């Protein structure tokens, strides 16, 4: 089956990340955030700003090469987060759950929150904002370029 594509604008991502922060605010307070790099970096920044959190750690995980998914490989560990006590892990998306499983194993006492979730991985997160189908490929704003639309010439006629 060919994948469906969902384009998420900067505005939509910002609204959804703020909605995630609102939901997390009811579960906090948190002593810090762990952003899953790279997709979770921008949502984590928005959540941190919304929650007034100034301690942000990263865990770097490489899973995709283009649109080809491989086994997750951790390239930087979140040492400042300890076992995750008091921390919330933020990622843009949980897909199959492979990355979520690895990050949860590193930080077993942290909460895990994503902006978007697919059915195969949603049971691994504590909270998310929107569910998308498993065959949907999300086009995040940092992965695309804005389109420039050339204005139509004005004809002098009004509608």
Global pTM?
A: 0.85
Is-catalytic flag, 83? Answer: no
Q: What is the pLDDT of residue 69?
A: 73
Domains and CATH numbers, the chain: 4-143 (3.40.50.2020)
- Measured distance CA(96)–CA(149) in Å, rounded: 36
Q: Mean of the per-residue pLDDT values for the chain? A: 90
Active-site residue 95, yes or no?
Answer: yes
Q: Which of 11, 16, 83, 92 is catalytic?
A: 92
The single residue of 95, 126, 143, 147 carrying the catalytic annotation is: 95
Going through the chain in order, the beta strands assigned E by DSSP cover 4-7, 32-37, 56-65, 68-76, 87-94, 111-117, 127-131, 136-139
Q: What is the pLDDT of residues 94-119, one digit of tens each?
A: 999 999 999 999 999 999 999 999 99
Catalytic position from the list 91, 126, 143, 147 = 91
Active site residue 147: no
Other CB atoms within a 10 A radius of the CB of residue 125 amount to 19
Share of the chain above pLDDT 70, in %: 88
pLDDT bin (cut points 50, 70, 90) of residue 131 is: very high
Kindly tell me if the per-residue pLDDT of 40 is higher than 60.
Answer: yes
Q: What is the pLDDT of residue 157?
A: 52
């Amino acid at each position: 089956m060919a994948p469906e594509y969902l384009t998420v604008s900067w505005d939509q991502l910002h609204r959804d990340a703020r909605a995630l922060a609102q939901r997390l605010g009811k579960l906090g307070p948190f002593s810090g955030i762990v952003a899953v790099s790279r997709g979770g970096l921008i949502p984590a920044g928005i959540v941190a700003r919304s929650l007034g959190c100034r301690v942000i750690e990263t865990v770097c995980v490489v899973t995709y090469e283009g649109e080809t998914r491989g086994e997750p490989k951790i390239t930087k560990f979140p040492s400042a987060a300890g076992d995750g006590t008091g921390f919330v892990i933020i990622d843009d998306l949980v897909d199959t759950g492979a990355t979520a499983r690895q990050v949860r194993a590193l930080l077993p006492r942290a909460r895990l929150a994503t902006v978007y979730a697919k059915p195969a991985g949603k049971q691994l997160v504590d909270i998310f904002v929107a569910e998308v189908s498993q065959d949907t490929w999300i086009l995040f704003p940092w992965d695309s370029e804005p389109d420039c639309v050339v204005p139509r010439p004005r004809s002098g006629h009004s509608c």
